[in-house]
Amino acid sequence: MLSRNPLSLHALVLVSAILAPACKPEEGAATDTDATDSAATDTDATDTAATDTDATDTTATQPTTGETDTAATDTDATDTAATDTDTGGEACVLPDPPVTASIGVDFGDWPILDGEQQRIEVAAACTVETASNVDGEVEVALLCSQGEQVDVAIKLFVTAPADFAIDIQDGQAVTLDAYWQGEGHHVGEGEWFVLKAADTGAVLLAGVAHDNNTGVNEVLGALTIDTVEGVCPLPCGDECFDTLDPERIAFKFVHDEGPSIELVDGTRGQFLALGRRFDAVVSTAHKYYCLNCWNWYVWVIGSVAA
């Protein structure tokens, strides 16, 4: 999916937040985006939405926003059954359509490693040439060196909500850990990257578009990002086998200083740690049970000085 140079066979392609393997269904059609649905704020003690079992019930469309999660502001003591029946619990809110993200890496002339799958691995010291963010369209151009690779041009691309903030300066010294793998037998291609400040080790920008998180936590420093299952109901009841419908899972973002946030796909949250404000967007977090399918995750996280 991601290139090592823009015009080669491995041409750069931004990974869509709704990207999924060929055996996966199209996403997004089932989410009701009517922001004026009165069911979400109805405080009538006899509200019939409490017994509504429609999986697209808009009572669950409130986005997750971490410590200020608006899904928790409903004070109707008799209306909580609506979220439990429809989605399996308050944490399993329906995806918020504007909360999407994608990542891309142009590895330039960085060498491709051959094996059962082709792959690229980077653990380099870099200098930021330019960094821009226009309404959530982020582009960071780097010159990176590792061993025999000296001043190789690498570019990072991220799309996120329009108010997604980054704090990356031209000329800044940073470290880049990045990985790409080509498609293999029962394995889909994917990638991830982690960009950190060289002086403090703070994560400035990171993202995953892959079927797993393998290798990411080892380079995140003070952050840990893991999957959480059981947040949403299984799409196929108690026994799942060869179904095309994915289970929606969550990602838990934890900082060594204590702050943490848990987000299902299509939600966003923020937390403060060590003088920085972290902004996490989980676009896709799907576990598949169909034969010859693999999971698919897309998330991004950035930070700015608080």
Please state, rounded to an integer, the average pLDDT across all residues of the chain.
Answer: 76
Compute and round to an integer the Cα radius of gyration of the chain: 20
Whether the pLDDT of residue 282 is over 80: the answer is: yes
User: Tell me, what's the pLDDT at 236?
Assistant: 79
CB atoms within 10 A of CB 257: 11
Whether the pLDDT of residue 231 is over 80: the answer is: yes
42 — pLDDT class (breaks 50, 70, 90): very low
Tokens 């393997």 — which residue?
21
Tell me the average pLDDT across 92-116: 93
Structure tokens belonging to residue 134: 């226009």
15-29, 124-138, 194-208, 272-286, range with the lowest pLDDT: 15-29
17-21, 116-120, 253-257, range with the lowest pLDDT: 17-21
Cβ contact 247:235 at 8 Å: yes
Percent of the chain residues topping a pLDDT of 90:
56
The C-alpha atoms of residue 130 and residue 108 are separated, in whole angstroms, by 16
The three-state secondary structure class of 72 is: helix
The C-alpha atoms of residue 125 and residue 143 are separated, in whole angstroms, by 8
Whether the pLDDT of residue 297 is over 60: the answer is: yes
Whether the pLDDT of residue 182 is over 60: the answer is: yes
Whether the pLDDT of residue 183 is over 70: the answer is: yes
Burial 58-87 (b: 16+ CB within 10 A, else e): bbbbbbbbbeebebeebeeeebeebbebbb
Tokens 């576990």 — which residue?
287
52 — pLDDT class (breaks 50, 70, 90): very low
Pick 293 or 79 by higher pLDDT: 293
User: Tell me, what's the pLDDT at 187?
Assistant: 64
Structure tokens belonging to residue 58: 């808009």
The pTM assigned to this predicted structure is 0.71
Whether the pLDDT of residue 61 is over 50: the answer is: no
Tell me the average pLDDT across 202-221: 94
59-73, 122-136, 202-216, 272-286, range with the lowest pLDDT: 59-73
Pick 137 or 76 by higher pLDDT: 137
User: Tell me, what's the pLDDT at 264?
Assistant: 96
∠ CA(287), CA(264), CA(55), 5° rounding?
Answer: 80
Tell me the average pLDDT across 263-270: 96
User: Tell me, what's the pLDDT at 306?
Assistant: 92
User: Tell me, what's the pLDDT at 294?
Assistant: 82
Tell me the average pLDDT across 183-196: 82
Pick 26 or 102 by higher pLDDT: 102
Q: Where are the beta strands (DSSP E) in the chain?
A: 102-106, 119-134, 137-146, 149-159, 173-181, 190-197, 203-210, 223-228, 247-248, 250-255, 260-264, 267-273, 276-287, 296-305
Residue type, 63: P
Whether the pLDDT of residue 221 is over 90: the answer is: yes
Pick 164 or 86 by higher pLDDT: 164
User: Tell me, what's the pLDDT at 7?
Assistant: 35
Tell me the average pLDDT across 169-187: 88
